[in-house]
Structure 1
């Protein structure tokens, strides 16, 4: 049967509610076959089969037309449950593995099938029909998750962190509006092009970028639970500071330079001064600063500075930041999207040129 089959008859137009009433009436002997057929507008033969449980494929008031599925619906539901269980454990089933599983089940359980016995695979038509019959599952592109993260992110670890968070807020008497989260992410000179319209069926669609591999600039963002943003910091992969690197940045942006372009202990100490200057914490009005477990956040200089100015540092659990880091979804996700769009527009408006580190600061605040 083709994937785009269109029904050519009006069979099984009866409603399941009417069929249920007709079955109950006949079984209770309130009326005969013909009277129940006319009163509830259901087919005579269908009513008899349902009352006498003669239909092998469907029971009661269920509808079912055409040939039966290769694998019974009950067995298909077992496959669905198996797929969802494996996905929850980060071992998702691919389309090829699903076809192999269907062949194995059909063979071992003796179901009549026309699958490919040479390759031991169910066909693409079966897979298409399986997906239509079970819309609760869909083919998705998974996010790569390391084994360490999979093991580290668990109920015990998460509960321990939130218990510690609650105790810290209560014991230090910190208002919810003075809870801050700080995180870093990178912007690269080689952007990810957005989707474009192209001729249907074309094998490859291209879009210009600045190169195969680019340089990056680290963005340091910090915001409070009350929605207050601290002016960002940008770390350029340079030894010496130059003011032109930061032309076009948001007001009071902290400009930093380091050879690798990544956060290190000395830069985090400078960022702490930047944070203190804008938040004005004190031992009388403490603030809670939630950071990840990067080594640069644990230097003695930074810890002493935090203690001196009434900053309570709280570290997220190891290997859990992919789920617990607050800034990932509301800030860095949209930032990456709009930054890529700004880069694509810049490339269109500057034909023949490429994006360098000098353009990143301007594109960052577009």
Structure 2
């Protein structure tokens, strides 16, 4: 990178006084635009443009147009300029250059240029300090009351997986030719999966109506649409109780979102009370920031699942991945996600 940028052209490298003199000389008939350009050292086409404007409007004054960058000088920057404080701003154009941005990023390696994530207005408004503080106060009170240890705290979350990944890895190819990647179909057929992840233990349920094989430690439940329901979640919850060994004498904390299948499922609440499971719901529209599974687990899981699907398609030419393979592919991705160093 060039430390100090040097202009490659001399555009607008003239003074307002010289341009005013050249325009007036042409309008008053003392000389033509060609001679005025030579004498005043200004562009001829610029003189002719301003002459046309001034003849149409006698009150017109020549204005030197800045580059298509708005002025960013703030009162603080103006004060620094008046106080003779050294700064990297362009005082002539009153704008910020690329050198200032590059220098700022070099001095602050924790401030990378990032692509923002699309966030709904409900989540943007719902995720606030009051709601977050109330949740953590409630969490702290439950920890003090039941004395939960790390192996008795779980987080439950759901995600959808498919055998038709949306994105594809980049490849090296010749220019001018269309590059394609084989997929199992043109549309996405999604299946929901429910997880519960703790410090030392993990369990999940695959909700696919056509899967004929599951990974070790998993089981399948049937739902035609592939979406989670109250009945299916209750079935998963009973499996979760058996897996964790929850008892009233040894309670378990389960953190989950506030979906109606959780909060308005009276049978689920009764089963939780009978088996010593404390249900703690996240604040509305805050799971994208507060739920551990969404923050640290679902993204690598989705990535590894897509990688497994692509690998299967490459090692089985002429075949397509269907819901019959989703469980075995997901099992490999699940193990890779647990071993992901990002967690």
Q: Are the aligned partners of 1:216 and 1:357 in contact in 2 as well (CA < 8 Å)?
A: no
Q: Are the aligned partners of 1:193 and 1:344 in contact in 2 as well (CA < 8 Å)?
A: no
The alpha-carbon deviation at position 271 of structure 1 amounts to 0.8
Distance in 1, matches of 2:233 and 2:73, equals 62
Partner-residue secondary structure (3-state), 2:69: helix
Partner of 1:360 in structure 2? 326
Distance in 1, matches of 2:158 and 2:285, equals 16
Partner of 2:291 in structure 1? 325
Partner of 1:56 in structure 2? none
Partner of 1:91 in structure 2? none
Partner-residue secondary structure (3-state), 1:284: coil
Distance in 1, matches of 2:301 and 2:197, equals 14
1:203-214 matched pairs, under 5 angstroms: 205-214=179-188
Of 147, 160, 171 in structure 2, the residue corresponding to residue 186 of structure 1 is 160
Partner of 1:285 in structure 2? 250
Partner of 1:86 in structure 2? none
199-208 or 140-149: bigger deviation: 199-208
Of 237, 241, 251 in structure 2, the residue corresponding to residue 272 of structure 1 is 237
**Residues 157 and 203 from structure 1, CA distance in 2 versus in 1: closer, same or farther, beyond 3 angstroms?**
farther
Partner-residue secondary structure (3-state), 2:71: helix
Given the two structures, how large is their TM-score scaled by the length of structure 1? 0.62
Structure showing greater radius of gyration is 2
The alpha-carbon deviation at position 221 of structure 1 amounts to 1.1
Pair 1:177-2:147 in alignment = no
Structure 2 stretches of 5 or more lacking a match?
A: 8-65, 79-89, 333-343
Partner-residue secondary structure (3-state), 2:284: coil
Q: What is the CA deviation profile of residues 283-327 of structure 1, one whole-angstrom value per residue up to 9, with x for unaligned ones?
A: 111111111111111201100110111111110111110011111
Pair 1:297-2:262 in alignment = yes
Query: What do you get for the CA RMSD once the two structures are aligned?
Result: 3.2
**Residues 203 and 294 from structure 1, CA distance in 2 versus in 1: closer, same or farther, beyond 3 angstroms?**
farther
Distance in 1, matches of 2:131 and 2:325, equals 42
The alpha-carbon deviation at position 206 of structure 1 amounts to 3.4
1:253-264 matched pairs, under 5 angstroms: 253-264=218-229
Pair 1:235-2:200 in alignment = no
Q: Are the aligned partners of 2:160 and 2:191 in contact in 1 as well (CA < 8 Å)?
A: yes
Of 104, 111, 118 in structure 2, the residue corresponding to residue 134 of structure 1 is 104
Partner of 1:45 in structure 2? none
The alpha-carbon deviation at position 140 of structure 1 amounts to 2.7
177-186 or 132-141: bigger deviation: 132-141
Partner of 1:74 in structure 2? none
1:35-114 matched pairs, under 5 angstroms: 103-105=69-71, 112-113=92-93
Q: Are the aligned partners of 1:186 and 1:217 in contact in 2 as well (CA < 8 Å)?
A: yes
Partner-residue secondary structure (3-state), 2:269: helix
Distance in 2, matches of 1:195 and 1:360, equals 20
Partner-residue secondary structure (3-state), 1:134: helix
Q: What is the CA deviation profile of residues 109-129 of structure 1, one whole-angstrom value per residue up to 9, with x for unaligned ones?
A: 996559xxxxxxx9xxx8755
Given the two structures, how large is their TM-score scaled by the length of structure 2? 0.66
**Residues 103 and 162 from structure 1, CA distance in 2 versus in 1: closer, same or farther, beyond 3 angstroms?**
same
Distance in 2, matches of 1:175 and 1:292, equals 21
Pair 1:351-2:325 in alignment = no
Distance in 2, matches of 1:158 and 1:107, equals 37
**Residues 211 and 141 from structure 1, CA distance in 2 versus in 1: closer, same or farther, beyond 3 angstroms?**
farther
127-136 or 213-222: bigger deviation: 127-136
